[in-house]
Structure 1
Amino acid sequence: MTLLQLRPEQQRRLFLVASGVSTAGSFAGITAKGWILMDGSSQPIVLALNFAALSLPTLLISGPAGVRTDRVGCERVLVQSQWALLAAAGLGALAIPLLDGLAQVLLLLGSTLLVGIAGAYELTARNKYCSILVDGPEQLGSYLTSFSVVFNVGKLVGPPIGGWLLAMTGPAWALGIDAASYLLPIASVLFLLNPDSSREQRSAPGQTASLVSAWRGCGSTLQGVLSFTAVLCLVGFFHPGLAPLIADRVLGSDPRDLGLFTSVLAAGSITGGIVLQKNSSRFSRRPFLTLGGFGLITAIAQLGMAMTPGVGFSLSMAFLIGAGTAGLLSSCNLITQIGSEQVMRGRMAGLSQIAFLGGGGISGLVVALLVMVKDLSTAFALSGGLSVAIALIWMRRRGNRVLEPIRSA
């Protein structure tokens, strides 16, 4: 049921704005939850477990999520997953007034786990939903990268909101806003958006609809893109989970310090997303140079963080980490979507999530253990050095590969 007859371009803008508001609320909640866990335990491993609970479900869930998206339709899966996100985030908000101590920590981690599961379905469905909102395949790359920019704007404004709410009203408000923010995209999809669903290609039941079939059918170039992204994230994508710890060492323990630090990361992410958006067609044609270039930016910034000469320099390195990782993740998503057939785009989105979020969850746990044994500077130095070597090797071996976009909606 559509309440308003919006023009196609208005529908696309509305979906971007609704998703951005939801993202801002989510990152306000993530900031609050990270600070609560850091303040209550002072253990890096607890922060890593929280990020792992958010990201590691992708290893098991993204495959079935992609298969279901391609099988039953992206709009149906999108709405169902958004309702699930609302319920899971609401559970975290209830943990603050109802529980304390270990029980509160466990419920917060459980809430994060459920958000991670629902989020895997939401991200796969949303990617394919974008392909039926645009007027033609030539618009898909630009729209997907615009989505990345709006997402990172939400990351920019969300953490300060979360930090100020923590300081002024307490964590329950921040987590409550996180839950309520999912209502806007739900209402938009149900009542205001009217995509051309006739253009969606659904897979038939059987072996051809499996995740393995998508992997085999996507071709060696996209397989390499997914593998390269997974390796880089396994080594160096730990900063989202350990942001409260890094902010504490760089700035201080006040929740507003965490809000500032994550905002600098988000500002870098916006910059990386804009660079990719402006060059989406050209960058996607040379996938390994693009991924390797963004990986090098992240790696060099991590080596800079290992030096820790001062607050200003560390924040500038955090900005570059945000730009590099956002460019890496958005490039992987962009390249795998425009380079694959419409019928398998849900599954390709699932494979992309496995590559970057699964690798990031494991990376966070490894680095947290390293910080407990050694220190944060050592972790940054090892991660940055390995990432530089990996990026240069892949760029040297596969940098001349060219990807031709699939010319179908």
Structure 2
Amino acid sequence: MSAFPLRLEQQRRLFLVVSGMSTAGSFAGITAKGWILLHGSADPFVLALNFAALSLPSLLVSGPAGVRTDRLGCERVLVQAQWALLAAAALGALAIPLLEGMAQVLLLLFSTLLVGIAGAFELTARNKYCSLLVDEPEQLAGYLASFSVVFNVGKLVGPPIGGWLVAIAGPAWALGIDAASYLLPIASVMFLLQPRRDLEQRSDGKGGATLLTAWRDCGGTLRGVLTLTAVLCVVNFFHPGLAPLIAEQVLGPDPRDLGLFTSVLAAGSIAGGVVLQRNSARLSSRPFRTLGGFALITAVAQLGMASTSSVGISLMMTFLIGAGTAGLLSSCNLITQIGAPQVMRGRMAGLSQIAFLGGGGLSGLLAALLVMATSLSSTFAITGGIGAVLGFLWIVRRGNRRLEPIRSV
């Protein structure tokens, strides 16, 4: 415990900053790992498999993560998950000097799988933990949205760091920084932050405190938000696992080209997050209009990627894809947190992860198969067209439905 206790406002800022720094290290590692897998296998399906290993575990473990968070407490689960992330990332770093060829690829994929499992627990616990760092219930929406902005700033600066480290010092350095970056949030949560633990509501640990119970009790509007997010992520999610392949076709094969591409994507994510943060109350009150609007932005940008060969226009479309995708995912997370009672927010975070990470993982595999069967531009045209239709239909049919946030932290 710190000898000089920080005010809650200072704690919120600290948690944002260390999480953003950790994210920057993580995306440096992700960039390096994607480059290694692309040049080690030359197979787009391996890239999609890497992202699926990161995201698909949410389908299996986000439910137990949410139940565990609501039963044991978000702070305890958060620290445990952060230590697990450190160990999993370190395993990936060790794969570079110790192994070669297919053995190296397999260990990197296994490391990604472990990061995906631990990350599902970390994100679930972190969402509920944020509610213990605000002074008033009205601050939660803005804080969660701010968290998304800082997260995407980490995504912006991380890939160039990863690209330069691969080019100058080798991929092991990038993966090593990824592992070390998890020490920052671990130290802050264990020694510096003092959340309002007395306000946390835990489930009773009995059989009724399950993911199914949370799904049934959250209400029709939140169930609709989760359903729409899952569907949009399957058919219209941007495919981060294919980023190295897309960057190579749009810009070139140099790892710094991949860093530039992912940085433009992250800049769009920041823009989408800022829009959501500055309008969090208004946008969350019309959930289907908001989700459908961000889906349309992503879909139109994908259609633009399919119809141009210009590097400048492609990067503009990449920016819009980042904005639309980040807005969609952050909106789902924000809406399900402020619209649910505190006692089930861990499980609602788990359901949100199942919707957007599980859906995104399936989408990446489907997109890889489409790329192998047709081409990258045809894949963008198909997914963008379907996404545009779905986004428009949900806006027309449910755009006026309102969400009333829970008036307690």
Tell me the TM-score normalized by structure 2: 0.99
Matched, 1:361 2:361: yes
State the partner residue of 1:154: 154
Pairs within 5 Å for 1:12-27: 12-27=12-27
Hey, what does 1:386 align to over in structure 2? Answer: 386
Counterpart-to-counterpart distance in 2, 1:99 and 1:168: 20
Q: CA deviation at 1:337?
A: 0.2
Q: Which residue of 2 aligns with 1:2?
A: 2
Give, in whole Å, the separation in 1 of the partners of 2:211 and 2:205: 12
Aligned amino acid, residue 146 of structure 1: S
CA displacement at 1:313 relative to structure 2:
0.2
Q: CA deviation at 1:140?
A: 0.2
Q: Offset at 1:396? A: 1.2
**Residue in 2 aligned with 1:237?**
237
Displacement of 1:87: 0.1
Aligned partners of 2:156 and 2:266 also within 8 Å: yes
Q: What SS class does the counterpart of residue 137 from structure 1 fall into?
A: coil
CA distance in 2, matches of 1:65, 1:146: 23
Give the aligned partner of residue 29 of structure 1.
Answer: 29
The percentage of aligned residue pairs carrying the same residue is 78
Partner Cα distance (2:103, 2:258) in 1: 24
Measured against aligned partners, the alpha-carbon deviations of 1:222-274 in whole angstroms (never above 9, x if no partner) come to: 00000000000001214211100100110000000000000000000000000
2:398 is aligned to 398
Q: What is the CA–CA distance in structure 1 between the aligned matches of 2:288 and 2:114, rounded to whole Å? A: 34
| Partner of residue 45, structure 2 | 45
The answer for unaligned runs of 5 or more in structure 1 is: none
Verify the 8 A CA contact 1:3 1:191 in the aligned structure 2.
no
Aligned to 2:74: 74
The residue aligned with 1:328 is 328
Mapped to 2, the partners of 1:364 and 1:190 lie a distance apart of 36
8 Å Cα contact 1:238-1:361 kept in structure 2: no
Contact 1:81 1:119 in 2 (8 A): yes
Write the letter of the residue equivalent to 1:249: Q
Please tell me whether the aligned partners of residues 62 and 124 of structure 1 are also in contact (alpha carbons under 8 angstroms).
yes
- Find out whether 1:102 has 2:102 as its counterpart: yes
Pair 1:266-2:287 in alignment: no
Q: Post-superposition shift, 1:2?
A: 2.9
Distance verdict in 2 for CA 1:291–1:392, change over 3 Å: same
Aligned residue in 1 for 2:132: 132
| Cα shift at 1:5 | 1.1
Alignment-mate amino acid for residue 401 of structure 2: R
1:172-183 residue pairs with structure 2 within 5 A?
172-183=172-183
CA distance in 2: counterparts of 1:129 and 1:67, whole angstroms: 14
Q: Matches of 2:30 and 2:213 in 1, distance apart?
A: 35
Counterpart contact for 1:298–1:321, Cα < 8 Å: yes
- Counterpart residue number, 2:291: 291
Shift of 1:182: 0.2
Shift of 1:7: 1.2
Contact kept, 8 Å, 1:17 with 1:150, in 2: the verdict is yes
SS in 2 for 1:4: coil
Please list, as runs of the form range in 1=range in 2, the aligned pairs for 1:279-358 lying within 5 A after superposition: 279-358=279-358
- 2: distance between equivalents of 1:57 and 1:309? 35
Alpha-carbon deviation of 1:187?
0.1
The answer for the alignment partner of 2:61 in structure 1 is 61
> Is the contact between residue 250 and residue 314 of structure 1 (CA under 8 Å) also seen in structure 2?
yes
Q: Which amino acid aligns with 1:67?
A: V
Count of residues in correspondence between the two structures? 409
Whole-angstrom distance in 1 between the partners of 2:207 and 2:216: 12
What SS class does the counterpart of residue 150 from structure 2 fall into? helix
State the one-letter code of the partner of 1:131: S
Q: Distance in 1 between matches of 2:289 and 2:103?
A: 47
Aligned 8 A contact 2:88 2:111 in 1? yes
Contact 1:235 1:387 in 2 (8 A): yes
Note the C-alpha offset of 1:29. 0.3
Alpha-carbon distance in structure 1 between the residues aligned to 2:143 and 2:272: 15
Gap regions ≥5 residues in structure 2:
none
Counterpart of 1:372? 372
Quick one: distance in 2 between partners of 1:10 and 1:206? 37
- Please name the residue that 2:190 is paired with: 190
Q: What is the CA–CA distance in structure 2 between the aligned matches of 1:201 and 1:8, rounded to whole Å?
A: 19
Q: Residues of 2 paired with 1:38 and 1:361: CA distance?
A: 18
Aligned to 1:253: 253
Where does residue 166 of structure 1 map in the other structure? Answer: 166
Aligned mates of 1:358, 1:247 — CA distance in 2: 24
Aligned counterparts of 1:331 and 1:8: Cα–Cα separation in 2: 24
| Aligned-residue CA RMSD (Å) | 0.6
Moved more, 303-312 or 164-173: 303-312
Partner of 1:119 in structure 2? 119
Confirm or deny that 1:219 pairs with 2:219.
yes
Runs of 4+ aligned structure 1 residues displaced above 2 Å come to 1-4
Render the CA deviation track for 1:298-347: whole Å, top value 9, x for unaligned.
Answer: 00000000012300000000000000000000000000000000000000
Instruction: Work out whether residues 2 and 190 of structure 1, in 8 Å CA contact, stay in contact via their aligned partners in 2.
Output: no
Give the TM-score normalised by the residue count of structure 1: 0.99
